[in-house]
Amino acid sequence: MSHGLAFLATQRAPVNRKLGVFLRRYPEIKTDVVALIDEWATRFFEELDYVNEGNNATLFAASICDDLPQARPRRQAGGEAAAEPARG
């Protein structure tokens, strides 16, 4: 995980939520900004979880390997998912 980026996002999350609460006083803003910010933060931290992203890539490669044999998933010695550039 990119700790510097995670640190910045963690520091700014309460400020962003307060902005969302503040915006609730404007009825013309129909979007639930607090829920939007919370959802964004959740997905943002999921994207920074490289182990989760590697697992997702492995599952995706396994799901298409019948159609694209070159996408067959493999693991490196330490258990990490390995990616290679596509050829062709």
Q: What are the Cα distances from residue 46, in Å, to 14, 62, 64?
A: 18, 21, 23
pLDDT at position 28 over 90: yes
Q: Which residue, among 44, 41, 46, has the nearest Cα to 56 in the 3D structure?
A: 46
pTM: predicted TM-score of the whole model, two decimal places: 0.50
DSSP state of 81: B
Task: Please state, in angstroms and rounded to a whole number, the distance separating the CA atoms of residues 88 and 31.
Answer: 45
pLDDT tens readout for residues 9-26: 777 878 888 888 899 899
Q: Which amino acid is located at 9 in the chain?
A: A
Q: Which of residues 6 and 25 earns the better pLDDT score?
A: 25
Q: Which amino acid is located at 34 in the chain?
A: V
- Measured at the CA of 29, the angle between CA 27 and CA 35, to 5 degrees, comes to 110
For 75, phi then psi, to 5°, come to -115, 145
State the sign of the Cα–Cα–Cα–Cα dihedral 55, 62, 41, 8.
Answer: positive
